[in-house]
């Protein structure tokens, strides 16, 4: 695995995504998703909301890096808040 | 009693998951790992966090290449989609006569490899010996794709339209052929004109195939590399340097693996966002069609 040039932070990042996917799979088996309409302009499943939350998080970080020199941890916090909001209310 | 869903069919998908993991997911993870490190050699790396992302996002050459890329994709879609539909409609109207021959002819550009397409157009559009270039020059129109920005863009667009409109036409032809004649009869009885028939009968039935066609062309045009590389080499100046060419220059030409990896991740996220936005906006009205 040396060729993949792993670092601690990137390993933690991918582990978090893997855990998220595992939780999503387990949730789906236990409580099958239903399509619902929240504040997003499209009806979404749980998986859709997870994808939107991840994509939003990525773009919040990109916007943050493009716009400011402030610590990225703030963007990460903002992303988590937005992600929870999307998962629960979208 | 509610019947439990049988999920064993998912095992049939497992080989695809393994192949995709090895060909896409693992390499993508590696690129993310590279993007946060300054790579000196195979064993010497320095973790630098998001510095390369910040550097890339503030690089004016990245912004320029991105704008050129978006303009190119928008123009390509604006030409190829209507033109493809128009050709398909003409073929459907002439079905049984010359349609088969035209379908075969239409398929030919799709079979030509990207680098060969670039070479064909490089020669074809040369103002001194190329048929197209010499003809345009003979008409008194100043044309030289190697030195004139407008000529370079027009040639690139013409080349892409030549190469890929067939795909849209073939997909649209398949979609139009599947429409029952009863819909056309109903439209005629209602007194619908050609535009109304297209808008309210054909277009809704083409929704699925056009979604695929636009997605394929959007993704492919956003990733265009070989044809402009062969035809113009990114010039004149940087006027036809798109994202993938700039990325290749960084990764292969300068061997800046860290910045190139950060660039790649941004590039990937941009394509992912655009395709998702397009797909969800098209499919929002339901999945009819």
Enumerate the domain spans of chain B.
Answer: 59-283
What backbone phi and psi angles, to 5 degrees, belong to B40?
A: -95, -50
Q: HEC states along chain B?
A: CCCCCCCCCHHHHHHHHHHHHHHHHHHHHHHHHHHCEEEEECCEEEECCCHHHHHHHCCHHHHHHHHHHHHHHHHHHHHHHHHHHHHHHHHHHCCCCCHHHHHHHHHHHHHCCHHHHHHHHHHHCCCCCCHHHHHHHHCCCCCCCCCCHHHHHHHHHHHHHHHHHHHHHHHHHHHHHCCCHHHHHHHHHCCCCHHHHHHHHHHHHHHHHHHHHHHHHHHHHHCCCHHHHHHCCCCCCCCCCCHHHHHHHHHHHCCCHHHHHHHHHHHHHHHHHHHHHHHHHHHCCCCCC
**Tens-level pLDDT at each residue, chain B (289 residues):** 455 667 788 788 889 989 988 899 999 999 999 999 998 887 788 999 999 999 999 999 999 999 999 999 999 999 999 999 999 999 988 776 678 888 889 899 999 998 999 999 999 999 988 999 999 999 999 999 999 999 999 999 999 999 999 999 999 999 999 999 999 999 999 999 999 999 999 999 999 899 999 999 999 999 999 999 999 998 898 999 999 999 998 888 888 889 999 999 999 999 999 988 888 888 765 544 4
CA distance B55 to chain A (A): 9
Owner of token pair 């060729």: A3
ipTM value greater than 0.90 = yes
Tokens (6 digits) for B226: 């070989």
Nearest chain A alpha carbon to B53:
A65
Contacting B residues, span 174-193, partner chain A, CB-CB under 8 Å: none
SS3 B130: coil
Tokens (6 digits) for B268: 């990937």
* Torsion region of B44: left, alpha or beta (phi above 0 gives left; psi -120 to 50 gives alpha): beta
Architecture of domain B59-283: Orthogonal Bundle (1.10)
Q: How far apart are CA B237 and CA B248, in angstroms?
A: 17
Interface probe with B: pick from A45, A53, A58, A62, most Cβ of B within 10 Å? A62
Q: How far apart are CA B38 and CA B32, in angstroms?
A: 12
């Amino acid at each position: 695995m040396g060729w993949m040039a792993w670092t601690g932070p990137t390993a933690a990042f991918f582990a978090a995504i893997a855990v998220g996917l595992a939780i999503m799979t387990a949730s789906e088996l236990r409580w099958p998703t239903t399509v619902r309409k929240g504040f997003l302009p499209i009806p979404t499943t749980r998986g859709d909301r997870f994808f939107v939350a991840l994509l939003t998080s990525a773009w919040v970080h990109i916007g943050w890096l493009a716009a400011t020199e402030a610590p990225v941890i703030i963007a990460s916090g903002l992303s988590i808040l937005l992600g929870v909001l999307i998962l629960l209310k979208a | 009693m509610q019947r439990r869903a049988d999920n064993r069919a998912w095992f049939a998908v497992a080989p695809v998951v393994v192949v995709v993991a090895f060909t896409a997911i693992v390499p993508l993870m590696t690129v993310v790992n590279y993007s946060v490190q300054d790579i000196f050699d195979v064993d010497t790396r320095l973790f630098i966090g998001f510095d390369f992302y910040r550097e890339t996002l503030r690089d004016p050459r990245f912004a320029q290449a991105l704008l050129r890329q978006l303009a190119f994709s928008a123009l390509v879609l604006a030409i190829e989609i209507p033109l493809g539909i128009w050709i398909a409609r003409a073929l459907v109207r002439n079905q049984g006569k010359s349609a088969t021959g035209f379908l075969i002819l239409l398929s030919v550009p799709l079979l030509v490899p990207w680098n060969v397409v670039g070479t064909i157009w490089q020669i074809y559009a040369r103002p001194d010996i190329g048929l197209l270039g010499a003809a345009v020059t003979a008409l008194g129109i100043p044309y030289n794709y190697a030195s004139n920005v407008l000529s370079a863009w027009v040639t690139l667009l013409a080349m892409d339209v030549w190469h890929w409109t067939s795909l849209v036409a073939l997909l649209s032809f398949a979609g139009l052929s599947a429409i029952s004649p009863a819909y056309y009869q109903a439209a005629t009885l209602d007194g619908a004109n050609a535009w109304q028939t297209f808008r309210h009968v054909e277009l809704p039935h083409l929704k699925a195939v056009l979604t695929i066609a636009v997605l394929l062309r959007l993704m492919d045009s956003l990733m265009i590399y070989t044809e402009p590389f062969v035809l113009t080499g990114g010039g004149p100046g940087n006027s036809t340097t798109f994202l993938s060419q700039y990325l290749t220059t960084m990764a292969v030409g300068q061997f800046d693996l860290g910045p190139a990896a950060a660039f790649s991740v941004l590039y990937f996220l941009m394509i992912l966002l655009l395709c998702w936005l397009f797909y969800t906006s098209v499919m929002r009205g339901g999945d009819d069609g």
